[in-house]
Amino acid sequence: MIHMVKLCVGVSSIEELESYRDERAHWWDADYGEDVHVHRTRMMPKRAAEMEGKSSIYWVISGVIGVRQPILRLAQYTDGEGKTYCDIIMAPDMVRTVPYPKRPFQGWRYLVPADAPPIRWGIIAPGWIAGQFAGAVHRHSKSRVVAVGSSSM
């Protein structure tokens, strides 16, 4: 499995990216008839088989990776002039990560899972369960628990 890192050009915040979810696919006439987010890019990744249904795209917004979206599949698109593109079809879910600085680059970069920014977790559970889960997150991953809600702690 391999992830993708891509600049989110023209978007200044995660909230702005979220606002594009429903309308962006229609800009390119890339309607896949599902609740998905579509991003069109010029080239199909050479490592596409390692990505479809297994990996995520990590968005760089204003110089920081702060969110990822699961990649469901990659589809080839050909326009009226015969140019081919790659539609990155993603789940609409945006998973916030621990902010990770990233310099600008062109195209995309591959990202091995071990180098991916950790996920930020929020837990709502009874005190003992929340404590057990938070401890497991700390012991077994780079992720962080940033909020806990419970009726007892």
User: Are 28 and 62 part of one and the same domain?
Assistant: yes
Using one digit for the tens of pLDDT, what is the confidence trace for 79-132?
899 999 999 999 888 999 989 999 988 888 999 988 888 877 888 888 888 888
* % of the chain beyond a pLDDT of 70: 90
Same domain for 84 and 122, yes or no, is no
Residues 10 and 74 in one domain: yes
> Are 46 and 63 within one domain?
yes
pLDDT of 135 above 90 = no
Residue 127: both structure tokens together: 């005190």
0.75 cut: is pTM over it? Answer: yes
Assess whether 66 and 132 both reside in one domain: no
> 125 pairs with which residues across the strands?
none
pLDDT at 15 over 80: yes
pLDDT at 28: 59
Across 17-26, 88-97, 125-134, 144-153, the highest mean pLDDT is recorded for 88-97
Q: Which residue has the higher pLDDT, 43 or 142?
A: 43
Together in a domain, 127 and 59: no
Residue 51 — very low, low, confident or very high, per pLDDT cuts 50/70/90? very high
Q: Are residues 60 and 124 in the same domain?
A: no
Domain tally, the chain: 2
Q: Are residue 88 and residue 136 in the same domain, yes or no?
A: no
Q: Are residues 110 and 124 in the same domain?
A: no
Q: Domain limits at 74?
A: 3-116
Tell me, what's the pLDDT at 24?
61
Backbone angles phi and psi of 30, in degrees to 5? -110, 60
SS3 call for 129: helix
127 and 57 in a common domain: no
Same domain, 15 and 67: yes
Whether residue 16 is found in the same domain as residue 28? yes
Output the CA–CA distances (angstroms, integers) from residue 28 to 24, 38, 63, 152, in the order listed.
7, 9, 26, 50
